[in-house]
């Protein structure tokens, strides 16, 4: 009879191929296999959060690996030790891992069905391959994505009928292309029951095409795609230098476009920078609208984190929220990875989520946590202190308290940010360096003569420092 350790080890061998080293270490190494009874494998996880996380994020890969080891009827049961005593046999959460559609199934092995096995190719039977969690409601809007998001909403309302066809979404990795493209698909699906939506990565598309070539089934392949009303092709940069795949894609594109069907494409670069893609395809891509995604601003990053945390039911202290948003400026995916690690570390080691923990985790991801303060961050802190919208600092208004807030921000930026006067002025609605000099003089003057103002400024400085950014009080003059 198979022994639970062996079975679990074999499962781990499979799992390790599909998850990152960091996730493997965090989520799979702490699991202890307890027993195997018939086709039920029981594993012990450190706590309930852990169990929920595994079920939320890794259910597919867990399911597939234990099925591969034990057979189709395999079941997984979790045990959570009572009150952190490592004794098994207490709170029992029995979970048949038979439910599909994990919350984030990106790490799971390929699930996309071969389109040709769908019997009779009936319209409504085509599985859209969409992840139902990618929706507009949880796609935070910001300057970074306003145009792309608005175009996406418009397309979702009237697929194939707007000028945005194709809708081309481009931007660097982790900035939300897949989420947005899928949100459009999900929205169409919920509004138009009779429309067939299909999401496919261009890699998957290529592989299906190669299979079709091998099986002499090119015409079936093309016909299948021509049935779709809304076709979403993700990461089309993968089509680069694949001449034959581009040819068939070109013909599918034309067919759909001519029949008033909607195309949504994503890419990590704008059409004009795509190399190795035929000109005729590039020119098609330019027919509709190309909208780019940028790195979200500090405020948008905060809103995104807040939204993710509240949907996971986690309370993140405000200073930690600010600290993460401030320090992680690469992309949203990295920000999510860091959040998840922080929560996991807190749960595993029974620690509070605080700045120290956040710092530790972030330093594993990012080489040097920035100790340098940005103008944007100063603006935000000052605006909060004076309880005015941050945008006001950039506007032309001459209202006294806004002028004050603006001058304070400029002064702090000059003292703390290492940025040039020109840069600082620019960050305040394109003002010039002489305005910044004037602001600094005014504030210095007030600091010398007004002790109440002095303590006001040191309150703001304290607030800046609370977010984990280090600077010398003496920098403040």
The residues that touch Mg ion, with contacts defined as CB under 5 A, are 177-178
Residue 4 interacts, among Mg ion, ligand ADP, none and using kind-specific CB cut-offs from 5 to 8 Å, with: none
One of 15, 31, 59, 175 touching ligand ADP (CB under 6 A): 175
Nearer Cβ to ligand ADP, position 306 or 435? 306
- The stretch near ligand ADP (CB under 6 A) out of 47-55, 117-125, 136-144, 205-213 is 136-144
Pick out residues in 257-316 that bind ligand ADP (CB under 6 A): 304
- Residue whose tokens read 């620019």: 426
Paired with 200 in beta bridges are: 233
Pick 206 or 381: Cβ nearer Mg ion? 206
Which residue in the block uniquely carries the two structure tokens 């145009």? 147
How many residues interact with ligand ADP (rule CB under 6 A)? 16
Q: Identify the three-state secondary structure at position 21.
A: helix
H or E element at residue 36: strand 32-37
* Phi, psi dihedral angles at 263 (to 5 degrees): -115, 135
Q: For residues 172 and 370, which CB has a smaller minimum distance to ligand ADP in the complex? A: 172
Contact between 284 and 278 under an 8 Å Cβ cutoff? The reply is: no
Is 333 among the residues that bind ligand ADP (CB under 6 A)? yes
Of 97, 128, 129, 145, the residue at the interface with ligand ADP (CB under 6 A) is 145
**Vertex 393: Cα angle to 390 and 398 (nearest 5):** 135
DSSP-derived secondary structure for 78-143: EE--GGG---SSSSEEEE-TT----S--TTSPP-PPPGGGSGGG-GGG------TT--GGGS---T
Question: Which of the ranges 25-33, 63-71, 169-177, 360-368 carries the binding residues for ligand ADP, by CB under 6 A?
Answer: 169-177
- Which one of 172-180, 199-207, 357-365, 409-417 is the stretch in contact with ligand ADP (CB under 6 A)? 172-180
Distance, CA of 181 to CA of 158 (rounded, Å): 15
Contact between 68 and ligand ADP by CB under 6 A: the answer reads no
Q: Which is nearer to ligand ADP, 178 or 417 (CB)?
A: 178
The alpha carbon of residue 64 and the mean position of all alpha carbons in its chain are separated, in whole angstroms, by: 25
Q: Which does 176 bind (CB under 5 to 8 A by kind): Mg ion, ligand ADP, none?
A: ligand ADP
Q: Does 336 bind ligand ADP (CB under 6 A)?
A: yes
Stretch that binds ligand ADP, among 29-37, 47-55, 167-175, 420-428 (CB under 6 A): 167-175
Instruction: Compute the CA torsion angle 396, 398, 401, 403 (nearest 10 deg).
Output: 60
Residue numbers of the site for ligand ADP (CB under 6 A)?
138-140, 145, 171, 173-179, 304, 332-333, 336
């Amino acid at each position: 009879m198979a022994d639970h350790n062996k079975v679990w080890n074999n499962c781990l061998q499979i799992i390790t191929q599909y998850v990152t080293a960091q996730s493997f270490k965090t989520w799979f190494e702490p699991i202890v296999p307890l027993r195997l009874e018939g086709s039920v494998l029981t594993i012990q996880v450190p706590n309930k959060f852990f169990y929920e996380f595994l079920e939320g994020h890794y259910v597919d890969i867990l399911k597939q690996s234990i099925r591969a080891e034990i057979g189709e009827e395999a079941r997984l049961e979790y045990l959570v030790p009572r009150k952190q005593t490592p004794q098994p046999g207490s709170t029992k959460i029995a979970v048949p891992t038979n439910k599909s559609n994990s919350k984030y199934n990106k790490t799971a092995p390929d699930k996309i069905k071969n389109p040709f096995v769908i019997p009779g190719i009936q319209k409504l039977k085509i599985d859209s391959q969409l992840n139902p969690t990618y929706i507009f409601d949880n796609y935070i809007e910001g300057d970074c994505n306003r145009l792309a998001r608005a175009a996406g909403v418009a397309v979702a309302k009237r697929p194939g009928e707007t000028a945005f066809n194709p809708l081309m979404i481009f931007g660097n990795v982790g900035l939300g292309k897949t989420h947005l493209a899928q949100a459009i698909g999900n929205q169409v699906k919920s509004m138009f029951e009779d429309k067939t939506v299909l999401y496919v990565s261009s890699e998957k598309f290529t592989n299906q095409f190669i299979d079709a070539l091998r099986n002499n089934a090119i015409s079936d392949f093309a016909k299948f795609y021509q049935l779709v009303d809304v076709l979403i092709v993700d990461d089309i940069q993968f089509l680069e230098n694949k001449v034959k795949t581009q040819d068939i894609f070109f013909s599918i594109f034309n067919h759909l476009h001519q029949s008033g069907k909607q195309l949504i494409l994503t890419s990590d670069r704008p059409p004009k920078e795509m190399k190795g893609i035929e000109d005729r395809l590039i020119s098609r891509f330019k027919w509709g609208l190309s909208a780019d995604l940028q790195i979200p601003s500090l405020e948008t990053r905060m809103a995104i984190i807040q939204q993710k945390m509240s949907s996971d039911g986690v309370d993140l202290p405000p200073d930690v929220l600010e600290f993460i948003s401030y320090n992680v400026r690469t992309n949203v995916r990295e920000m999510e990875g860091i959040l998840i690690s922080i929560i996991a570390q807190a749960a595993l080691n029974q620690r509070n989520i605080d700045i120290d923990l956040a710092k530790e985790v972030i330093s594993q991801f990012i080489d040097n946590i920035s100790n340098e303060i940005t103008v944007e961050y100063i603006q935000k802190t000052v605006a909060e202190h004076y309880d005015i919208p941050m945008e006001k600092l950039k506007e032309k208004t001459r209202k006294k308290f806004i002028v004050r807030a603006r001058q304070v921000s400029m002064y702090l930026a000059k003292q703390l940010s290492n940025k040039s006067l020109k840069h600082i002025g620019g960050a305040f609605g394109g003002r010039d360096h002489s305005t910044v000099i004037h602001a600094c003089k005014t504030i210095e003057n007030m600091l010398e003569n007004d002790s109440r103002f002095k303590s006001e400024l040191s309150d703001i400085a304290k607030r800046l420092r609370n977010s984990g950014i280090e600077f010398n009080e003496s920098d403040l003059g």
